[in-house]
Amino acid sequence: MRNIQSPTADINTPAIITSAGTVLEANTARRSWHVQNVGTNAVFVRIGGTASSTVFHYVLSAGTGDSDGLGGSCGDDGSGDVRSGLISIAGTTPKVVVTESGDA
């Protein structure tokens, strides 16, 4: 079973993702996106492709406790060109919260 946040319209409900792989599918209507680590291990984020601990764009630091809000985050707030391709994660037992917004 794939654990992916599907493209949405104007706003979506945040999704908790607990496995490595694609967390956001390609979405040409995407206007913003955000990934935050809510787990206790570092998470590697790649804009496109398959993320790994050696191929990534961001490393999100771990929190000190599960869902404590201290984990790292990355994303694009929509103030410029927003990446419309897929976004993937990797790590040892990753746990992230993912949100995306787009055109209706």
pLDDT at 1 over 70: no
Q: Cβ–Cβ contacts within 10 Å for residue 11, how many?
A: 11
At 93 the pLDDT is 96
The range of the structural domain enclosing residue 89 comes to 15-102
Summarised one tens digit per residue, pLDDT across range 44-79 is 999 988 999 999 999 999 999 999 999 999 999 888
Side-by-side strand order, sheet with 43-47? 21-24, 87-90, 43-47, 58-60
Number of domains in the chain: 1
Mean pLDDT over 83-88 rounds to 94
Which of 51, 35, 53 has its CA nearest to residue 95? Answer: 35
* Ramachandran quadrant class, 49 (left: phi over 0; alpha: psi -120 to 50; beta: rest): left
pLDDT at 5 over 90: no
